[in-house]
Structure 1
Amino acid sequence: MLIRILFFLAFLFLIDWYSFQAFKASFPGNFWVKLAFWSFSIIVYLFVAYTFLTFSNRGVSSPNFGRMASLLILSIIPKLIILTFLFGEDILRVSTGAFQSIAGSREGDFLPDRRKFLNQTALALAAIPFVGILHGVLIGKYRYRVIRHTLEFDDLPEEFDGFTITQISDIHSGSFDDRKKLEYGVDLINQQGSDVILFTGDLVNNRSEEMEPWIETFKKLHAPLGKYSILGNHDYGDYMSWPSQEAKAANLQHLFQIQEELGFKLLRNESVQIQKGNSSIDLIGVENWGKGFAQYGDLAKAAANLTKESFKILMSHDPSHFDEEVKSFAHHIHLTLSGHTHGMQFGIEIPGFIKWSPASLRYPKWAGLYEELGRYLHVNRGFGFLAFPGRVGIWPEITVLELRRK
Structure 2
Amino acid sequence: MATLPPGPVRLYGPQFEKDPGALYAEIRRQHGPVAPVLLEGEVPAWFVCGYREVHQVTTDSQLFARDTRRWNAWSQVPQDWPLAAYVVHNPSVMFTEGTEHRRRAGAISDALDAVDQFELSTQCERIADQLIDEFAGTGEADLMAQYAERIPLRAAVAMCGMPTADMPGMVRDLGLSIDSSGQESLDAYGRVQQAMARLVADKRVAPGPDVPSRLLQHPSGLTDDEIVLDLLVVMAAAHQPTTYWIGNTIRLMLTDVRFATTLSGGRASVGQALNEVLWQDTPTQNFIGRFATRDTRLGGQRIRTGDLLVLGLAAANNDPHVRKDAGGAVGNRAQMSFGHGEHGCPYPAPELAEVIARTSIEVLLDRLPDLMLAVPAESLTWRPSIWMRGLTSLPVRFTAV
TM-score (norm 2): 0.21
Greater relative CO, 1 or 2 (CA 8 Å, sep 6+): 2
Which of the two has higher C-alpha Rg? 1
Higher relative strand content: 1
TM-score (norm 1): 0.21
